[in-house]
Amino acid sequence: MVTLEPIIHLSRELLPTPKFFFGLTTNRSRVGHLPLEKMESQSQVLERLRTAFESGVTIPEKFRRTQLTNLMSMIKDNEEQIVNALHKDLTKPKFEAILSEVDIVMNELHYALSNLTSWMQPEYVSKNLATKLDDCFVRREPLGVVLIIGPWNYPMQLLILPMIGAIAAGNCVVIKPSEVSAATDNLITELMPKYLSKDCYAVVRGGPKETQALLKNRFDHIFYTGSQAVARVVLQAAAVHLTPVTLELGGKCPCLIYGRVNATAAAHRLVWAKFFNAGQSCVAPDYVLCSKATRDALVPALRQVLEDFYGSDIQKSPDMSRIVTPKHWTRLMGLLNRTKGKVVVGGEHDEKDRYIAPTVVVDVAEDDALMEEEIFGPILPILTIESLEESIKLTKRKEKPLAFYVFSDESSVVKKVLENSSSGGFCSNDGIVHMALPGLPFGGVGNSGFGHYHGHWGFEAFSHRRAVMLRGWALEKLNALRYPPYSDEKLSWLRWTTSPKSCSIM
Amino acid sequence: MERQAVQRAREAFLSGRTRPLEFRLQQLHALQRMIAEKETEIATALKQDINRSQYDTPLLELIGIENEIKLAIGKLREWAASRPAEKNLLTISDEVYIQPEPLGVVLIIGAWNYPWALTLMPLVGAIAAGNAAVVKPSELSECSSLLLRALLPRYLDKDLYPVVTGSVSETQELLRLRFDHIVFTGSSPVAKLVMEAAARHLTPVTLELGGKSPCYIDKNCDIRVACRRITWGKFINCGQTCIAPDYILCEPCIQGRVVECIRQTLLEFYGADPKCSPDYGRIVNQRHFNRIMGLMEGYTPVVGGQSDSSQRYIAPTVLKDVPPHSRLMQEEIFGPVLPIVTVSDMDNAITFINEREKPLALYIFCSDKKAIKKMIAETTSGGVTVNDVMMHYTLNSLPFGGVGQSGMGRYHGKHTFDQLSHHRACMVRSLGMESVNLARYPPQNRRRARRARMALTSPLIDMSKRTLVWAILATIISLGLVIALLVILLIAAGLNCTCWYWRGFYN
């Protein structure tokens, strides 16, 4: 029997990854303002959802459409409140909030509603001679009661986007918003029961202790977005019940800049992707690898673009986010203080405001403090490596990241990087945008996670693909080939009828 | 020793030699040759392990593997090619696709009941996907496992596809190491340990487990044919199949008939004394023999029941009126014992099935299409075969896998390739057309924000029904107009022609 306490204690002490989740103590109000007597216990919530699921209410397409449409109304009607909550939590600029938390969710909802009917259809498969007269298809079925644990950096998007897939697939859903982004947590808890069926969808709140307790229960799928340390704990808990899991983790996303490159255009896109949400994105370019010449062209371009974007006094710009909590701010400042590189852009900070200026550090070595863990902040180290091959080798020495970026005008460079790397996703000459397309699966590999979602992939993540074969009563003579007593003749006929290419005409 | 084998496999994978499709095809051809050339040796090993009959070997294991290899060889290029994805307005000039890539080093833990199929079928997919694979066959099928260890390096790349034999301690040692995916076939308790070990390295797993696969026989169906098919599926490999029909559910009024039909079929298949039939197997070891005998304690079978501990022989056995809470109904039987549990009707059967863990397979024998549809819709399971047993396993275009306690993930055919690949989302953009991007950069104002919203959220193709209807109508109308135009032109040209013709005639 796995107990979580020693593992969590161990993960706190031994693992170097940021202690966002379980080790966090904040001054923010955590569990919301609902009076205690009104709150159901976790097991009551789960029992209610399981009974609802077993009643079959989430299965009909109409129900799923209604819930998704209601979710759309929830976002549309409360856009301003959502933006305000995000501003309270992360000082998220309105533009970023709309683009990365409201619009992307609405887009996904439109996509799901447009395609739901086709997603729910049985998928007929190709047959061999022995099964030519049978109906063979794959049926997508809901898994049951699923758990979605959200992070704090995109508290709406990373909670609601998987939820869309789960609802579309016909499951009952328990969502656990991050208590670190407290205002959004409060808002979601308040709004969800007003728009979605209370019997089928529930919000469970709390910190590490409540999450631990929640994980002891049995779910039919767990979807976790967050850090590797906590992911291990989630997986251990899932192993007890043999629950399938989707993990959306992070990693150090490298950004290689080689060959002929338009430094200004590259700088624009790099700055946008890196400093969006103050660098607190799982797919933000974590560090840059380039030659000395490129670096010398890039740094002034970066400086210029930063001024164009945020003005000369970045702290006063309304378009720059803040670090989520003082603890995270301290961690980032720690990295900056320990780095052996040279700060060439930025470096300003303000503890009270949880502000760190967009900072560029050069002459960073592979064993620098900034290269130890995922930065998850507005600090961009540049490592100077002359050859593309050496850069690629460096990235291979590290864990597989969630995204891999390369900036180059030469398609041969792009191709070389693509073929000699592995990552969740890949984008050349830009950052982050590859995850905005619902047609592309979004997910990690290796230490950056497993499983995918977005669009159809989200629907599949929360579905069971059930193979169905409907046979007839006739052709029993054909079946006789497989019955004992056996013979050589029967065997050779059987080999022929079950071969994949047994009859190309049919 | 295990550590070294895994280390070598990883180094071999990192060398990049599994990447080219030619290499993977070459390995698959070699595996195909191995199966063809060594059929006799494999059959002998299986006879020693599990008293598998001479014909059961190709029937149950080799044909499946051959078909998998043939399919993989034929389709590899298609499977490994990049798959284009849907774009939006902002990405209209970009290359957007999904590239399947190998994961790295895959661990395949096989089971003893089909020692060749359950290790080699995942291996085919692992090779096709470009991975290295460490194969750990089950120690309970010892001869097969030693034979596999001897044969595989003779045909396949020695470093990329090592076979590690051994029992519990060697498996535990392997599980401490890091893999990029683990495929496990076996029991739930061991699966939990495998998943827990995988959790330490954040390794994804595919678990092919078992469970009690129910078999419902409707009173209005061809019971004779139904029983023949069920008998085949139940007693093949002496009941030691993860998708064997574990127990029968039927109404009391047909129970007697079912028993009689099974008895008759058993006579047809194995003769009066199955112990003497070359086509009937044995229980794998003493522990399982004792376990299955223990399950039957206290019940009087209506068919069979004989056993011989020295041969680990249990006769094909049927028990009727088995209570739902008996020991027989608590765990997967995995043996030649077939309990019949009576239910009042199909609804009762559905409730019975839903009260229990999700099984790996569900079998329904019924002639009423509506009733079949209802039963499928109101239950869940890994897979379903209606009016037969196990056949959904044989079609490799169908994904094979469990749900809930019967497992997670799926394989067979292309599904193995997909399961053991990473689907990497790729977007190849150019540094040009920067003006399009301006809308998303700060400093932000309302106009820019609106433009950005539009570019990022408008789908390229509106998938709504209304647009589809209008599109179809517009196409029909325009086609009609084009045809009308053509007709008019033809008539005009025709008139012109005939004018000339008539002029010529009169002249």
The predicted-structure confidence for A439-483, as pLDDT tens digits, reads as follows 999 999 999 999 999 999 999 999 999 999 999 887 777 788 888
Task: Average the pLDDT over B23-46 and give the result.
Answer: 95
CA closest to A440 among chain B residues: B425
Q: What is the number of other CB atoms lying within 10 angstroms of the CB of residue B422?
A: 26
pLDDT of residue A1: 41
The pLDDT tens digits for A46-73 are 999 999 999 999 999 999 999 999 999 9
Task: Average the pLDDT over A290-311 and give the result.
Answer: 95
Contact status, residue B442 vs residue A316, Cβ threshold 8 Å: no
pLDDT of residue B503: 56
From the list B207, B404, B463, the residue facing A220 with the nearest CB is B404
Is B90 a residue whose pLDDT tops 90? Answer: no
Task: Average the pLDDT over B204-218 and give the result.
Answer: 96
Q: Which residues of B touch A215 (CB under 8 A)?
A: none
B120 touches A: beta carbon within 8 Å: no
Spatial distance between the Cα atoms of B184 and B461, rounded to a whole number of angstroms: 42
Q: Which residues of B touch A428 (CB under 8 A)?
A: 427-429
Q: 3-state DSSP helix/strand/coil percent for chain B, to nearest 5?
A: 50, 15, 35
Percent over 90 (pLDDT), chain B:
80
CA closest to A15 among chain B residues: B200
Spatial distance between the Cα atoms of B24 and B487, rounded to a whole number of angstroms: 57
Chain A interface, mutation test: which of B395, B420, B461, most A Cβ atoms within 10 Å? B395
Q: What is the number of other CB atoms lying within 10 angstroms of the CB of residue B75?
A: 15
Is A119 a residue whose pLDDT tops 60? Answer: yes
Catalytic residue among A101, A248, A373, A460: A248
Q: How distant, in Å, are the alpha carbons of A31, A204, A212, A386, B239 from that of A37? A: 13, 15, 22, 64, 54
Secondary structure element (H or E) that encloses residue A175, with its range: strand A172-176
CA closest to B427 among chain A residues: A427
Higher pLDDT, B58 or A199: A199
Chain B nearest CA to A7, separation (Å):
10
Q: Which residue has tokens 């392997």? A: B174
Contact status, residue B292 vs residue B313, Cβ threshold 8 Å: no
Q: Which residues of A touch B372 (CB under 8 A)?
A: 470
Residue contact B425–A54, C-beta within 8 A: no
Task: Output the average pLDDT for chain A.
Answer: 89
What is the SS3 string spanning B320-337? CCCCCCCHHHCCCCCCCE
- Pairing assessment for the beta strands B214-217 and B361-365 based on DSSP bridges: parallel
Q: Which residues of B touch A110 (CB under 8 A)?
A: 457, 459
Contact status, residue B368 vs residue B218, Cβ threshold 8 Å: yes
Spatial distance between the Cα atoms of B82 and B481, rounded to a whole number of angstroms: 40
Percent over 70 (pLDDT), chain B:
94
- Pairing assessment for the beta strands A463-470 and A135-142 based on DSSP bridges: antiparallel
Q: What is the number of other CB atoms lying within 10 angstroms of the CB of residue B92?
A: 12
Catalytic residue among A282, A290, A373, A460: A282
**Backbone phi, psi, residue A475, to 5°:** 60, 30
Higher pLDDT, A375 or A504: A375
Q: Which residues of B touch A479 (CB under 8 A)?
A: 228-229, 388
Taking alpha carbons only, the member of B393, B400, B425, B418 closest to residue B96 is B425
A35 touches B: beta carbon within 8 Å: no
Q: Which residue has tokens 């003493």? A: B286
Q: Which residues of B touch A138 (CB under 8 A)?
A: 398-399
pLDDT of residue B51: 81
Spatial distance between the Cα atoms of A427 and A432, rounded to a whole number of angstroms: 8
The pLDDT tens digits for A173-201 are 999 999 999 999 999 999 999 999 999 99
**Three-state DSSP class for B217?**
strand
Spatial distance between the Cα atoms of B431 and A259, rounded to a whole number of angstroms: 13
From the list B209, B354, B444, the residue facing A95 with the nearest CB is B444
Chain B nearest CA to A29, separation (Å):
32
- Per mean pLDDT, which range of A38-42, B112-116, B297-301 is the poorest? A38-42
B224 touches A: beta carbon within 8 Å: no
Q: Which residues of B touch A228 (CB under 8 A)?
A: 202
A97 touches B: beta carbon within 8 Å: no
CA closest to B452 among chain A residues: A99
Query: Phi-psi region for residue A137, left (φ > 0), alpha (ψ -120 to 50) or beta?
Result: beta
pLDDT of residue A3: 45
A248 flagged as catalytic? yes
Task: Average the pLDDT over A284-312 and give the result.
Answer: 95
pLDDT band (50, 70, 90) for residue A8:
very low
Taking alpha carbons only, the member of A476, A310, A356, A94 closest to residue B446 is A94
Contact status, residue A369 vs residue A338, Cβ threshold 8 Å: yes
Is B309 a residue whose pLDDT tops 70? Answer: yes
Task: Average the pLDDT over B76-100 and give the result.
Answer: 90
pLDDT of residue A129: 80
Higher pLDDT, A31 or A498: A498
Chain A nearest CA to B239, separation (Å):
15
pLDDT of residue A433: 87
pLDDT of residue A172: 98
Quick one: DSSP state of residue B62? I
pLDDT of residue B464: 58
Is A295 a residue whose pLDDT tops 70? Answer: yes
From the list B270, B383, B431, the residue facing A409 with the nearest CB is B431
From the list B195, B384, B424, the residue facing A468 with the nearest CB is B384
A56 touches B: beta carbon within 8 Å: yes
Residue A186 CB-density burial (10 A; 0-12 exposed, 13-18 middle, 19+ buried): buried
Task: Average the pLDDT over B225-237 and give the result.
Answer: 95
A489 touches B: beta carbon within 8 Å: no
A426 touches B: beta carbon within 8 Å: yes
pLDDT band (50, 70, 90) for residue B459:
low
**Three-state DSSP class for A325?**
coil
**Three-state DSSP class for B247?**
strand
pLDDT of residue B227: 96
Spatial distance between the Cα atoms of B215 and A182, rounded to a whole number of angstroms: 51
Could you tell me the two tokens for B22? 């030619």
Residue contact B442–A485, C-beta within 8 A: no
The pLDDT tens digits for A160-174 are 999 999 999 999 999
- Per mean pLDDT, which range of A15-29, A394-408, B233-247, B314-328 is the poorest? A15-29
Spatial distance between the Cα atoms of A469 and A125, rounded to a whole number of angstroms: 10
pLDDT of residue A398: 95
**Tally of residues, chain B:** 507
Residue contact B425–A424, C-beta within 8 A: yes
pLDDT band (50, 70, 90) for residue A18:
very low
Q: Which of residues 457-486 of B touch A (CB under 8 A)?
A: 457, 459, 462-464
A280 touches B: beta carbon within 8 Å: no
Taking alpha carbons only, the member of B170, B176, B203, B208 closest to residue B411 is B208
Q: Which of residues 212-241 of A touch B (CB under 8 A)?
A: 220, 228, 231-232, 235-236, 238-240
Pairs across A and B, CB distance < 8 A: 307
Residue contact B444–A479, C-beta within 8 A: no
Residue contact A272–B232, C-beta within 8 A: no
Q: Could you give the residue ranges of the DSSP H alpha helices within A311-370? A: 326-338
Q: What is the number of other CB atoms lying within 10 angstroms of the CB of residue B435?
A: 7
From the list B202, B410, B431, the residue facing A231 with the nearest CB is B202
B449 touches A: beta carbon within 8 Å: yes
Task: Average the pLDDT over A280-307 and give the result.
Answer: 96
Q: How distant, in Å, are the alpha carbons of B62, B137, B147, B185 from that of B165? A: 21, 6, 10, 16
Higher pLDDT, A19 or A92: A92
CA closest to A132 among chain B residues: B395
The pLDDT tens digits for A370-423 are 999 999 999 999 999 999 999 999 999 999 999 999 999 999 999 999 999 999
CA closest to B86 among chain A residues: A439
pLDDT band (50, 70, 90) for residue A28:
very low
A365 touches B: beta carbon within 8 Å: no
Taking alpha carbons only, the member of A160, A190, A178 closest to residue A67 is A160
Is A15 a residue whose pLDDT tops 50? Answer: no
Chain A nearest CA to B55, separation (Å):
6
The pLDDT tens digits for A312-344 are 999 999 999 999 999 999 999 999 999 999 999
Q: Which residue has tokens 């009609």? A: B480
Secondary structure element (H or E) that encloses residue A465, with its range: strand A463-470
Chain B nearest CA to A268, separation (Å):
8
Contact status, residue B303 vs residue B318, Cβ threshold 8 Å: yes
- Per mean pLDDT, which range of B266-270, B424-428, B449-453 is the poorest? B449-453
Contact status, residue B409 vs residue B103, Cβ threshold 8 Å: no
Quick one: DSSP state of residue A221? E
Is B470 a residue whose pLDDT tops 60? Answer: yes
Query: Phi-psi region for residue B94, left (φ > 0), alpha (ψ -120 to 50) or beta?
Result: beta
- The overall longest dimension of chain B from CA atoms, in Å, is 112
Q: Could you give the residue ranges of the DSSP H alpha helices within A199-291? A: 208-215, 228-241, 263-275
pLDDT of residue B499: 56
Residue contact B87–A439, C-beta within 8 A: yes
The pLDDT tens digits for A82-93 are 999 999 999 999
Is A37 a residue whose pLDDT tops 70? Answer: no
Taking alpha carbons only, the member of A370, A379, A376 closest to residue A338 is A370
Residue contact B442–A309, C-beta within 8 A: yes
Chain B nearest CA to A326, separation (Å):
26
CA closest to A396 among chain B residues: B14
pLDDT of residue A500: 64
Could you tell me the two tokens for A14? 């031994």
Contact status, residue B180 vs residue B103, Cβ threshold 8 Å: yes
Could you tell me the two tokens for A238? 């899932």
pLDDT band (50, 70, 90) for residue A31:
very low
